[in-house]
Amino acid sequence: MAKRHMIIKKNAENKVIALDRINVLFNEAKSVFSSNRTLADRYVSLARKISMKYKVKIPSCFKRSFCKHCYSYLVPSVNSRVRVREKMIVIYCDNCKRFSRFRYKE
């Protein structure tokens, strides 16, 4: 019983660490984007790997900053176009020429 409790506690700790790393990676991606886009994309893929490994969701504030098709880091008006259409945010990725849609909350 005690051991099982320890495992649950450790998982929760790992999730906190994983979320923290995802935050750091997206902030790094943002700062390196202007000088090195390949590195920014790499940070996105690392963040996704962490989120899958520890089963944590990528925070909603970061979900729109990468393409869900090719996973490249997107900056509006630089390598993506953002349009608002009928309560949906439509993001067009310049890299793979595909659209991503997000529900728009009022």
Out of 32, 56, 70, 90, name the contact with Zn ion by CB under 5 A.
Answer: 70
User: Count H helices, E strands: the chain?
Assistant: 3, 3
Out of 37, 95, 99, 102, name the contact with Zn ion by CB under 5 A.
Answer: 95
CA distance 96 to 46: 20
Tell me how many degrees the CA angle 105-12-51 measures, rounded to the nearest 5: 55
CA distance 96 to 4: 45
* Closer residue to Zn ion, CB minimum distance, 12 or 96: 96
* Closer residue to Zn ion, CB minimum distance, 18 or 74: 74
By CB under 5 A, tell whether 67 contacts Zn ion. Answer: yes
* Residues near Zn ion (CB under 5 A): 67, 69-70, 93, 95-96
